[in-house]
């Protein structure tokens, strides 16, 4: 009987150690997700910078004209360029929804892990 109790104790200790490792991995992943999300928001906000966008459009137009593209075609190409740039920029509403989901899932996971850790401490 003593060996069975010892085996259970060893299994619990292994489970606790594995959970500690899993917690560390999950925490690291969520930290990285936060950093990535911040970088994504920064990149999107930079793409919405009116000064930068107007400069890109002006340079595009100048390059078209210097290449000998007729005015009417150059204007249509610039309009299409502008339209495509705006299409590539996700709506801020959708971005905020996605970020909210990631943050919520992160908080739920951390809360669940904390609850599991408390339960384990109570069992030991």
pTM greater than the 0.85 cutoff = no
Q: What are the pLDDT digits (tens) for 63-107?
A: 999 999 999 999 999 999 988 887 776 666 676 677 777 777 766
HSE (CB half, 13 Å, CA atoms) of 96?
Answer: 3
Q: What are the pLDDT digits (tens) for 5-46?
A: 777 777 777 777 777 777 777 777 767 777 777 777 777 666
Contact 22, 112 (CB under 8 A): no
pLDDT at 92: 63
Contact 40, 23 (CB under 8 A): no
């Amino acid at each position: 009987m003593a060996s069975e109790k010892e085996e259970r104790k060893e299994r619990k200790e292994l489970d606790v150690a594995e959970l500690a490792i899993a917690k560390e991995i999950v925490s690291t992943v969520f930290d990285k997700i936060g950093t990535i999300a911040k970088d994504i928001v920064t990149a999107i906000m930079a793409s919405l910078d009116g000064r930068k966008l107007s400069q890109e459009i002006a340079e595009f137009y100048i390059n078209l004209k210097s290449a000998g593209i007729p005015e009417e075609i150059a204007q249509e190409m610039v309009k299409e360029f502008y339209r495509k740039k705006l299409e590539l920029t996700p709506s801020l509403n959708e971005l905020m929804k996605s970020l909210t989901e990631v943050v919520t899932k992160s908080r739920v996971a951390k809360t669940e892990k904390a609850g599991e850790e408390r339960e384990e401490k109570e069992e030991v």
